[in-house]
Each structure stands twice: as structure tokens, then as C-alpha cells.
């Protein structure tokens, strides 16, 4: 039973076999700041303002189909889909598909996401407790 006078919430640290299978995309700038997506093997995520995108970004500056992330064989690759305003990774405009690395920042016209491996995400959560 938890102590009701404690203001800290304990976040359980997952077993290593559970946490090493996923990567995450955490929104760090934009209207849904703090929201996160788990990226699974074989998953394709499309970002844009079209209602059928996996991640809908409500801005006229975002193309209907702006950016795609593909997770395959333990790698996640970002690709701009010919958008008008471009996609950036770590402030560099994507000219071709690029593999994301732990800690990379993905920006779609002011909407910024951080790409994290599980171990990095859980470590950051424990450090903020």
C-alpha cells in the first residue's frame, strides 16, 4: 500500500526483455506536447493534415501527406513525402530517407518529436521522479 502523504508516483521500471523491444516518438513541441507513440516492428506512420494520416497535424503549413516513418528490422527511417515546407531531423532538412537514432529530433513545420529507445525513455522518467 502506498503512503498517502507521499506526493511522488513511482513509475515501475520494466523488465529488460520488455523495454528493449520498442522505440518511442514523444511530442515535445505542439498542441499535444507530452503525447507519445510506441513504434512497433513493421509499422508505417504517416504524418500530415489529411484525416486518414496516422498522426494528424492541424496546420495549413503541414502538407496533406507530409512525412512517413517506417520501422523495419529494428530500424526506423524518416522520409519526407514531397511536402511543401519540408521535414527536418536535428534541424537538417531531409533530402532523402534517413534512419533515426536515439535522441533525434523530428520536426514537421513546428511540430517537434523526439525519437527515443525504451531504455532512454525509462531512464529519463526515473530521473524526473
**Average pLDDT of every residue of the chain:** 81
What pLDDT is recorded for position 35? 79
Q: How confident is the model at residue 74 (pLDDT cuts 50, 70, 90)?
A: confident
In the chain, what is the straight-line distance between the N-terminal and C-terminal CA atoms, in Å?
A: 19
- Buried-exposed string 42-74: b where 16+ CB fall within 10 A, e elsewhere: eeebbbbbeeebebebeeeebbebbbbbbbeee
Lowest mean pLDDT among 62-71, 90-99, 108-117: 108-117
- Rounded Cα distance between 54 and 46, Å, is 5
Q: How confident is the model at residue 21 (pLDDT cuts 50, 70, 90)?
A: low
What pLDDT is recorded for position 112? 95
pTM above 0.95, yes or no: no
Q: What is the pLDDT of residues 52-64, one digit of tens each?
A: 999 999 999 999 9
Whether residue 14 has pLDDT greater than 50: no
Amino acid at each position: 500500500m502506498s503512503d498517502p502523504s507521499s506526493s511522488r508516483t513511482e513509475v515501475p521500471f520494466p523488465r529488460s526483455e520488455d523495454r528493449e523491444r520498442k522505440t518511442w516518438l514523444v511530442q515535445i513541441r505542439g498542441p499535444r506536447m507530452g503525447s507519445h507513440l510506441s513504434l512497433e516492428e513493421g509499422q508505417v506512420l504517416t504524418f500530415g493534415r489529411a484525416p486518414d494520416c496516422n498522426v494528424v497535424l492541424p496546420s495549413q503549413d503541414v502538407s496533406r501527406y507530409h512525412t512517413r516513418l517506417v520501422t523495419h528490422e529494428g530500424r526506423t527511417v524518416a522520409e519526407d513525402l514531397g511536402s511543401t515546407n519540408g521535414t527536418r531531423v536535428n534541424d537538417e532538412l531531409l533530402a532523402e530517407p534517413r534512419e533515426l537514432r536515439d535522441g533525434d529530433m523530428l520536426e514537421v513545420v513546428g511540430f517537434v518529436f523526439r525519437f527515443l529507445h525504451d531504455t532512454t525513455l525509462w531512464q529519463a522518467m526515473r530521473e524526473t521522479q
